[in-house]
Structure 1
Amino acid sequence: METPLVPMRTVLFQSERNGLTYRVPALLPVPPGPTLLAFAEQRLSPNDAHAHRLVQRRGTLEGGSVRWDAVRVLGTAALEEHRSMNPCPVHDAHTGTVFLFFVAVRGQTSEAAQITAGRNAARLCCVTSPDAGRTWDGPRDLTAEAVGGAEQDWATFAVGPGHGIQLPSGRLLVPAYTYRVDRRECFGKICRTSPHAFAFYSDDHGQTWHNGGLVSNLRSGECQLAVVDRGQAGSVLYCNARSPLGSRVQALSTDEGTSFLLGELVPTLAETAWGCQGSILGFPAPPSSRPGDQGWSVGSKKTPFAPSLCPGTQESPEEGVRDTPEGGGLHGTERSGNGPRDPGLREPSPEPGLGGDRRGWSLELLRPSATLTQSPTWLLYSHPTGRRARLHMGVHLSRFPLDPHSWTKPWVIYQGPSGYSDLASIGPTPKGALTFACLYESGARVSYEEISFCVFSLGEVLENVLPRAEPPPLGGKPQQQCWPS
């Protein structure tokens, strides 16, 4: 049997004998070239509570390889008496500014402690660079501006981790999640919290920032975003999020992230035990993939799009979301006061900031059609493929991004312990092949020994993902459907 291709990798960040550990990678290409900016958390130990500062390496494309400069501690990306976590960069193509978002967490206050007490210790911060990461200015604390009064209902929050995006309209989007306080009735203690993905956004090139509505109906955490072009039907914003429910959660926005429609489970993208961060990347489908062209025989062909809007029936026991090196995160921090009714079964709130106004829902977007034609946008997704442990970094492809059943089986790009990752498109090769990069946690014994970088082409993805079985005919057993009333 032929051994599958594995891309060559370069180790960019390596744990040290004194305990210094690098976690939570983020990758951003910045034109021209592009220049590649690789970020990570530098921790005094693998423990979340021992996160310290953010670090960076700049890479320059030279022919078919990348030349990296030395590791650099970003001293300005910090608040006094806080630790810097969750790097989340985004590039404004109109101004050339790179924004590096992160959360600054007070002292060694853990996420679990914030959730238990219902008292947020995180600040939303960013630093900016006008010269593709060569220099960085001082930190901006955006918490009062971008979170505002919502902070009283959030036990904690974080951004990304991984890259943010800019929409064709110019809006900048930073993926985020919060633990919302759902009830405070136990003698002043927290009785229930639930994690929900959302986005921060700016419509004035980063001068001001705002928080968007939550993915309100399913527990969803660390997330990333992509724009999906639907041709004549317009574009939608796609969110893919970590979840403790056994598989990933996806949600769509028709108003550029101001609010999200109901989330749904993605059964073809299984979660690792306790969940793990994953990366999502949208890119234009190659010209030879036009409808009627059979040149790309990958995944399902024309699959029916029948999304389930009753995902609460598939839920599993509650877990938390923040990551720990032992494969934790999802470490049971939602346990206190669990009642018989799960927040995953809630109807979305009609109030702004909690899923958007029902009257604004575009049901036409979600209704199934007889056939699903080739999408102008394809998606890549990276995540460990192990079900019980963080093992074997895999890359999946979807040619029909709005269909949660359309994902291929993974191409394993690294055999062994692996964890968080971030994908980037780095443009065509000299021969014209669309090329991607992945920055991911890896190791021989545990997933946080190092952070590796690799490059691969779309052609290599297509050669290595395994075709899925043909879907049942439309006349077969009907799929469950449940439309909002």
Structure 2
Amino acid sequence: MPCGPVATPGPSPGCPSAPPPALLAAQALVAQLAGGSWVLGPDAALGSSQLPAPAHTAGQSLSLRCSGARRSRRSCCCPTASSSASLWCPSMGAPRVPERTVLFQRERSGLTYRVPALLPVPPAPTLLAFAEQRLSPDDAHAHRLVQRRGTLAGGSVRWGAARVLGTAALEEHRSMNPCPVHDARTATVFLFFIAVRGRTPEAAQIAAGRNAARLCCVTSRDAGRSWGAARDLTEEAVGGAEQDWATFAVGPGHGIQLRSGRLLVPAYTYHVDRRECFGKICRTSPHAFTFYSDDHGRTWRHGGLVPNLRSGECQLAAVDRGQAGHILYCNARSPLGSRVQALSADEGTSFLPGELVPALAETARGCQGSVLGFPAPLFSRPRNGRWPVGAGSHSYSPHLCLGVQEPSEEGTGDTQGAQGPSGMEGCRDSPEEPGLGPGLSGIMAAWTSKVPGPPATLSQSPTWLLYSHPVGRRARLHMGIYLSRSPLDPHSWTEPWVIYEGPSGYSDLASVGPTVKGALTFACLFESGARVSYEEISFCMFSLGEVLQNLPPGPKPPGLGDKPLERCRPS
């Protein structure tokens, strides 16, 4: 819902005094960054150009936050004078739900669209949305891959018609699990997928210990307008390991490119841990890993498996550690009740032992989720151009800077990992710096005020993570967006902002760069429906400011070594 001034009857015990005019001006900018209109009462709407004057008149004031005031589930009232008005904001009541566009919808013939993947391709950016087209919702009835191509302009996306990717197929195989990745140096999009023989379901492959999947990809050099012939990379990239893999798959969802130029495709396999005599399977277990290329997609190899915990469908992000370089972060589906995260210090060639992420609960049968790294709104770097040593360092005192990043050495970029929009290698002292959304520092201050304890430092890590996943524990319900400011700490995740209420399933996140208003903007492509999650695939966009405004009160993201705090629940 949009923000708006709401009349209040009078002061209430325990409410704070009227805020100073400077704070009111900052609060107005906060609402402007969110991009919503203000609502006066139930009917009249005010656009962002008609924001109330920040200076309050005698006997009347505006208040955005309710510091110390009692909250209810639906509203928060902080009267500040005998005749006053308070600014109702989504984070104080019902969170805002982004507008969504349905890109793929189940047809009367039974054709169903599942397993979305989303990739921004610069410079516009162009957005490529992919999905499986199935003859029915069943995995065994997957058929082929489809695409819609969108152009971002003026803060909205104009989508072209859906089309079948005829070359993304092998004869007598069904195409599944779209997983696109963009090579910034060669301007090439690689669309990876698995081609599974006939109608052989994954469960049958696991039970028999005989893999029926092939690793394939098609490429485009014109931002998805056309695609080349399919390449079967199984022998090259999997090789002899296939004899120990009951089955495998990529993604689903986007891959990433590291600053070194390495291309990474997330994947998982059901590894045959032990066989009985006569080839009968005794035990298998799922493990996440990567396929990677160091020569811009000419050749591909597979990396080592996440060694300990069971981990399946996964996605990757590059996490900047300042002077210590970067580390690869993997977030994976698991049957263990919560997500599994694993780290790699060698760009996905191998992984350290995984660990459970208790803040990210799985649904009863598990579900795919998406993870996205982006440059944190950190304090700007010192004059010598170096990051502070270690996450959580807050030796800086200057302004906030969104989009600070190490420049790419050879023009390559992590288009879906820790790297932000191009042209944002630093920032000046002005709060109007391109790419720095107006009022972001106010939003940050307001967001950190929602959590208990002392103010949280903003420099937890040069990279923050977003994560999307259904929030339901028993069923795939309600698509949630989570935030971590300390990605290496599994306890650092916030409670979710629900961007869609109802059946929800697989999803994919993307960073689409700053909008015309300068706010860093993200997109989410996700399964949704009124009765079941596979009725349609929806698309929505939201800014970092909106994420911060709409996150519910939750644990203060701790620095490295801190213990997780209990959730602060409204009274």
Smaller-chain TM-score range? 0.7 to 0.9
Percent of residue pairs bearing the same amino acid type: 82
Equivalent residue in structure 2 for 1:129, among 209, 220, 226: 220
Correspondence for 2:316: 225
> Which amino acid in structure 2 is aligned with residue 377 of structure 1?
T
Separation in structure 2 between the aligned mates of residue 167 and residue 272 of structure 1, nearest angstrom: 31
SS at match of 1:463: helix
Deviations 1:370-393 (A, max 9, x none): x99510000000000000000000
Judged with a 3 Å threshold, the aligned counterparts in structure 2 of structure 1 residues 472 and 395 are, in CA distance, closer, same or farther, namely closer
Cα deviation 1:291-331 (Å, max 9, x = unaligned): 3678444487999xxxxxxxxxxxxxxxxxxxxxxxxxxxx
Letter in 2 for 1:424: A
The alignment partner of 2:281 has SS state of coil
Which residue pairs with 2:280 in the alignment? 189
Structure 2: unaligned runs, 5 residues or longer: 1-73, 75-92, 381-392, 398-440, 566-571
Structure 1 residues 34 and 154: CA distance shift in structure 2, 3 A? same
Partner of residue 110 from structure 1, selected from 201, 223, 229? 201
Counterpart in the other structure of 1:330: none
Alignment of 1:381 onto 2:467: yes
User: Residue type of the partner of 2:106?
Assistant: S
Report if aligned partners of 2:489, 2:560 keep a CA contact under 8 Å in 1. no
> In 2 relative to 1, CA 473–62 (structure 1 residues): closer, same or farther, beyond 3 Å?
closer
Q: CA deviation at 1:469?
A: 3.4
Could you say what secondary structure the match of 1:114 adopts?
helix
2:519 pairs, out of 433, 436, 446, with 433
> In the alignment, which of 530, 550, 553 is matched to residue 467 of structure 1?
553
RMSD of aligned Cα (Å): 2.3
Write the distance in 2 (CA, Å) between the matches of 1:58 and 1:157: 28
Alpha carbons of 1:148 and 1:9: their partners in 2 closer, same or farther (altered >3 Å)? same
State whether structure 2 residue 354 is matched by structure 1 residue 263.
Answer: yes
Three-state SS of the structure 1 residue aligned to 2:481 is strand
CA shift in 2, pair 1:9/1:288, >3 Å: farther
| Structure 1 residues without counterparts, runs of 5 or longer | 304-370, 480-485
Aligned-partner residue type, residue 390 of structure 1: R
The one-letter code matched in structure 2 to 1:440 is: F
User: CA shift at 1:187, angstroms?
Assistant: 4.0
Q: Which amino acid aligns with 1:163?
A: H
Match of 1:455? Answer: 541
Residue 233 of structure 1, CA deviation: 1.7
**Pair 1:470–1:459, CA change in 2 (3 A):** closer
What one-letter code is carried by the residue in structure 2 that aligns with 1:13? F
Deviation at 1:26, TM superposition (A): 0.0
Instruction: Describe the SS at the equivalent of 2:146.
Output: strand
CA distance in 2, matches of 1:5, 1:433: 17
Residue type at the aligned position of 1:450: E
Q: For 1:103-130, what per-residue CA distance to the aligned partner results, in whole angstroms no more than 9, with x for missing partners?
A: 0000000000000000000000000000
TM-score normalized with structure 2 length: 0.69
Retained in 2: the 8 A contact 1:302–1:373?
A: no
Residue of structure 2 in register with 1:44 after alignment? 135
SS at 1:191 equivalent: strand
- How far did 1:477 drift? 8.7
Highest RCO, 1 vs 2 (Cα 8 Å, sep ≥ 6): 1
The 3 A distance-change label for structure 1 pair 460 and 151 is same
For residues 288 and 44 of structure 1, do their structure 2 counterparts lie closer, same or farther at Cα, with a shift above 3 Å needed? same
Distance in 2, matches of 1:42 and 1:472, equals 42
Q: Tell me if the contact between 1:302 and 1:372 (Cα under 8 Å) persists in the aligned partners.
A: no
After the TM superposition, which residues 12-23 of structure 1 pair with which residues of structure 2 at under 5 Å, given as runs? 12-23=103-114
1:84 aligns with 2:139: no
Distance 1:46 1:402 in 2: 36
| Pick aligned residue for 1:422 from 489, 502, 508 | 508
1:41-440 matches, within 5 Å, as 41-185=132-276, 187-287=278-378, 291=394, 295-296=444-445, 297-298=447-448, 374-440=460-526
Bigger shift: residues 446-455 or 60-69 = 60-69
Number of aligned positions between the proteins: 412
Which amino acid in 2 is paired with 1:394? G
Normalising by structure 1, we get a TM-score of: 0.82
CA distance 1:189–1:409, change in 2 (3 Å): same
1:6 aligns with 2:97: yes
Kindly name which structure, 1 or 2, has the bigger radius of gyration based on alpha carbons: 2
Deviations 1:165-207 (A, max 9, x none): 0000000000000000011115421010000000000000000
Which residue of the partner structure matches residue 355 of structure 1? Answer: none
SS at structure 1 position matched to 2:239: helix
In the alignment, the residues of structure 2 paired with residue 475 and residue 83 of structure 1 have an alpha-carbon distance, to the nearest angstrom, of 47
Deviation readout 1:59-94 (Å, 9 max, x if unpaired): 001212100000100000000000000000000000
Cα offset, 1:431, TM superposition: 1.7
Instruction: Give the aligned residue type for 1:196.
Output: H
Q: Return closer, same or farther for 1:476/1:32 CA change in 2, 3 Å cut-off.
A: closer
Once the 2 structures are TM-superposed, how far is the Cα of residue 467 of structure 1 from its aligned partner? 3.3
Contact preservation (8 Å) 2:486, 2:559:
no
Aligned partners of 2:378 and 2:459 also within 8 Å = no
